[in-house]
Amino acid sequence: MIRLRHLLLACITGLSLTPFVAGGPAFATPETWGTIGSWAIRIDDDRDCYAIARYQKRNFALKMGIDSQNNDVYMMLASDPIDTLEVGAKYHLKFGFDEQGMSHKLVMKAEREGKITYLSSPSLTTDFVENFAYRSSMQMYAVIDGQYKLVEHLPLTGTRAALGEVARCQKAQGPAPAPQRRPRERDYQS
């Protein structure tokens, strides 16, 4: 079985992108590695790299990164505010890619940091990451009134390149002493 980190490193193959530092207030922090399309590539306090995309119309952010200590890829979804989520509760969500229906099920935990309520999944399957990297859209389904219903439809542009850049960033950082899966409030501010 292919390790998720190896999959991300494989995303680099064939890419000739040079990282560049983004300008402007949204990404002007010392932890910024660069940008790829709508994705900001950043380095957290534990020297783990991640990509984050903001969907301003929805007030929604999607973060995917590497937990270098556990050699896993994680995903976080945030919206400010999501008052309907119970902090600490687990939510069963289904995801589909490119209108192919609900093909992936994830159990995500609701957490809160400052004003930000987010859902996190600490370890993603290789199949999920491959679909995320190579598809052009992602649909998210949640249980509403006892049935799975579409709650979000997100475009995924430049995702393969962004994940490849996350892998390059992580390789440059070396191993991290401890994972950090908690977002910082400034990660979601514009």
- Any domain includes 186: no
- Supply the pTM of this predicted model: 0.72
Instruction: Please give the pLDDT value at position 82.
Output: 58
Q: How confident is the model at residue 159 (pLDDT cuts 50, 70, 90)?
A: very high
- Any domain includes 190: no
Query: Tens of pLDDT along 111-132?
Result: 887 777 889 998 899 999 999 9
- Any domain includes 133: yes
**pLDDT surpassing 50 at residue 62:** yes
- Any domain includes 83: yes
Mean pLDDT, the chain, rounded, equals 76
Instruction: Please give the pLDDT value at position 5.
Output: 40
- Any domain includes 17: yes
Q: How confident is the model at residue 182 (pLDDT cuts 50, 70, 90)?
A: low
Residues of the domain holding 131: 4-175
Domain harbouring 83, CATH code:
2.60.40.1880
- Any domain includes 189: no
Residue keyed to tokens 């020297």: 47
In the chain, the number of structural domains is: 1
Which of 34-43, 110-119, 151-160, 161-170 has the weakest average pLDDT? 110-119
The average pLDDT across 57-61 equals 78
- Any domain includes 110: yes
Instruction: Please give the pLDDT value at position 104.
Output: 93
Query: Tens of pLDDT along 5-49?
Result: 433 333 332 222 222 223 322 323 448 899 998 899 999 887 889
- Any domain includes 182: no
